Amino acid sequence: MVSGGNLGLSGFARRILVAAFAALCLPSVAHADTRTCRQLETRLAGLSSGGGGSSTQARRYDAAIGRQQQQLQVARDQARQAGCGRFMGGGSVAFCGSINATIHRMEANLGELQRTRERLGGGGDNGRERARIMASLDANGCRGHARILPAPIEDAPRQQTVIDGRTGQRIGGNLSGNFRTMCVRTCDGYYFPVSWSVSSAAFARDQNACAAMCPGTQVELHYHRVPGEESEAMVSAVTGLPYRQMTNAFLYRRQNAATPPGCSCGATAGGGERGFEVIGGDHGNGMVQEEEPVTAAIPQPSGRPDPAEDPDTLANREGGLDAESIRRLSRPAHRTPPSTAEDGGERQVRVVGPVFLPDPEEAIDLQAPAPARAR
Highest mean pLDDT among 262-276, 277-291, 315-329, 330-344: 315-329
Which among 78, 66, 291 has a CA at the least distance from the CA of 183?
78
User: Which residues neighbour 61 within 8 Å (Cβ) at sequence distance 6 or greater?
Assistant: 113, 116, 117, 120, 281, 288
> Distance between CA 185 and CA 172 in Å, rounded?
27
pLDDT exceeds 60 at position 303:
no
pLDDT band per the 50, 70, 90 thresholds, residue 64: confident
- Measure Cα distances from 331 to 316, 338, 352, 367, 370 in Å: 19, 21, 16, 11, 11
Burial class from Cβ neighbours inside 10 Å (0-12, 13-18, 19+) for residue 36 reads middle
SS (H, E, C) the chain: CHHHHHHHHHHHHHHHHHHHHHHHHHHHHHHHHHHHHHHHHHHHHHHHHCCHHHHHHHHHHHHHHHHHHHHHHHHHHHHHHCCECECCCCCHHHHHHHHHHHHHHHHHHHHHHHHHHHHHHCHHHHHHHHHHHHHHHHHCCCCCCCCCCCCCCCCCCCEEEEECCCCCCEEEEECEEEEEEEEEECCCCCEEEEEEEECHHHHHHHHHHHHHHCCCCCEEEEEEECCCCCHHHCEECCCCCEHHHCCCCCHHHCCCCCCCCCCCCCCCCCCCCCCCCEEEEECCCCEEEEECCCCCCCCCCCCCCCCCCCHHHHHHHHCCCCHHHHHHHHCCCCCCCCECCCCCCCCCEEEECCEEECCCCCCCCCCCCCCCCCC
Q: Which amino acid is at 16?
A: I
pLDDT at 221: 96
Asked whether the beta carbons of 187 and 218 are under 8 A apart, the reply is yes
User: Which residues neighbour 196 within 8 Å (Cβ) at sequence distance 6 or greater?
Assistant: 73, 180, 226
Examine residue 299 and say whether the peptide bond preceding it is cis (omega within 30 degrees of 0). Answer: no
Which among 176, 159, 144 has a CA at the least distance from the CA of 34?
144
Mean pLDDT of the chain: 67
User: Which residues neighbour 305 within 8 Å (Cβ) at sequence distance 6 or greater?
Assistant: 314, 317
Mean pLDDT is lowest, of 25-39, 71-85, 111-125, 297-311, for: 297-311
Mean pLDDT is lowest, of 74-78, 214-218, 265-269, 295-299, for: 295-299
User: Which residues neighbour 182 within 8 Å (Cβ) at sequence distance 6 or greater?
Assistant: 191, 192, 193, 194, 221, 222, 223, 224, 231, 234
pLDDT at 228: 82
pLDDT at 301: 44
- Centre a 10 Å sphere on the Cβ of residue 241 and count the other Cβ atoms it contains: 13
pLDDT exceeds 60 at position 125:
no
pLDDT at 169: 47
pLDDT at 48: 53
pLDDT band per the 50, 70, 90 thresholds, residue 46: low
Q: How confident is the model over 166-186, as a mean pLDDT?
A: 69
Q: How confident is the model over 333-354, as a mean pLDDT?
A: 49
Whole-model pTM: value is 0.30
pLDDT at 241: 92
Highest mean pLDDT among 77-91, 239-253, 258-272, 328-342: 239-253
pLDDT exceeds 50 at position 225:
yes
